[in-house]
Amino acid sequence: MNAKLKETIRRFLPTTIRDHRIQRGPLRGARIYTSWHDYPGAILGTTETPLLAWLARQVKSGETWLDIGAHYGYTSIALSRLVGPSGRVFAFEPVAATAACLARTRELNHFDQLTVVPFGLSADTGLRLHRLPVFRGMAERTGPPTAPRQVIVTASLDSLWSDEAVHGIKIDVQGMEADVLAGMRNVLSRWKPGLVVEFHRGVDRRSLVDLIEHCGYARTPFPIQEMRLPAASLQIEDDRSYAFFSSAATRKTV
C-alpha cells in the first residue's frame, strides 16, 4: 500500500485516544493507549517487525535501555518485556500529550521498570525550548506545514544522565538525529551501548557516522530490515533503522 493511499484511509479512522489491546505480532495482548488515526500499525501489531526481532536478540534481562522518541510506547512495551522487572527502560517523549498517553500505557501493562521522561534530547547542555510541528502525536522538524506547532523542552543526555551503565539505545526522532547523538557523546564513549538509529530525510549521513565512529563504534551500519549484510555509510536510506556496534567488541549475531 503506497503512502498516499495510507493517508487517505487514515482520514476516516477514529481519532479517539483510548486503551487498545495489540491484536497480533510479538506484542500481542499488550495494551497501548493511542488512536486508530495516529497509530493503526501499533494496534494491529504489524509495525516495526524487524526492529522488534533485532531487540529480541540483543536485549537481556536486567539491562538498562533508552527509548528516544518513544511516541505512544510501542517499542517501550517491547523493551520493558525484554529487560523484565529487574531491568530499566527510560522512554523519552517530548510531546506532553503523547507522553501522558505513554504513561497510561505504562500503567495498563504494570511496567514498574518503565520510566517516562516527558521531554526530548538535543545537543544543548541546558534546557532549551523548541516550537515544532506535531503530527500524529510526534514532533517533527520537517513535519507538514499545516500541522499545529507545540513547544517542547530538550536537553543533552550527557547533561542529564547519572553514573549508571547504559546497555542499549534506540533513536527515532524524526529528523533530529544529529542533535540527539551530539548530546550523548560521553554516554556513547563510556558505555558503548548497543545503538540502533532510524534515519530520516535531510539528515547528513556522513557526519552522523563520523560522530558515531568517534565515540568508539565501528563505522559500518547494519540495516535492521535485511539483518545480514552491512551497508555503506552513503547508502543509508530514509525511514530505515541501522544498528552500530562497538569497534572493540565482537559483533553480535544480527
Is the distance from CB of 152 to CB of 130 less than 8 angstroms? yes
pLDDT tens for each residue of 24-40: 999 999 999 999 999 99
Instruction: Please write the tens of the pLDDT for every residue from 117-127.
Output: 999 999 988 89
Q: Locate 89 and state its grid cell.
A: 527502560
Task: Answer yes or no: pTM beyond 0.75.
Answer: yes
pLDDT tens digit string along 106-116? 999 999 999 99
> Could you tell me if residue 1 is inside a domain?
no
Cβ atoms < 10 Å from Cβ of 3? 7
| 199 DSSP β-pair partners | 240
pLDDT of residue 125: 85
DSSP alpha helix (H) spans, the chain: 3-10, 40-44, 49-58, 74-83, 96-109, 157-160, 177-182, 185-191, 205-214
Residue 137: which CATH number? 3.40.50.150
What percentage of residues in the chain have a pLDDT greater than 90? 74
C-alpha cell at 185: 557523546
d(CA 36, CA 217) in angstroms, rounded, equals: 39
Tell me which of 111 and 148 has the higher pLDDT. Answer: 111
Give the domain extent around 92: 48-244
Asked whether residue 220 is assigned to any structural domain, the reply reads yes
Residue 220 cell numbers, joined:
559500518
* 196 beta partners: 170, 243
Residue 253 scores a pLDDT above 80: no
Decide which of 244 and 140 is more confident.
Answer: 244
Quote the CA–CA distance of 249 and 64 in Å, as a whole number. 19
Mean pLDDT of the chain: 91
Rounded Cα distance between 84 and 98, Å, is 24
Q: State the DSSP string of 66-85.
A: EEES-TTSHHHHHHHHHH-T
Does residue 10 form part of some domain? no
Question: pLDDT band at residue 230, thresholds of 50, 70 and 90?
Answer: low
- Total number of domains in the chain: 1
Q: Note whether residue 23 is domain-resident.
A: no
Quick check: is 254 in a domain? no
Per residue in 168-191, pLDDT tens? 999 999 889 999 999 999 999 999
d(CA 146, CA 140): 12
Helix or strand or coil: residue 167? coil
Q: Is residue 172 part of a domain?
A: yes
pLDDT of 251 reads: 47
pLDDT at 86 over 70: yes
Give the whole-angstrom CA distance, residue 74 versus residue 242.
18
Question: How far apart, in whole angstroms, are the C-alpha atoms of residue 103 and residue 107?
Answer: 6
Is residue 249's pLDDT more than 80? no
Position 25 in a domain:
no
- Please state the separation of Cα 3 from the chain's center in Å: 21
Is residue 197 assigned to a domain? yes
Residue 18 has pLDDT above 50, yes or no: yes
Cα–Cα distance between 133 and 150 in angstroms, integer? 6
**Confidence tier at 90 by pLDDT (50, 70, 90):** very high
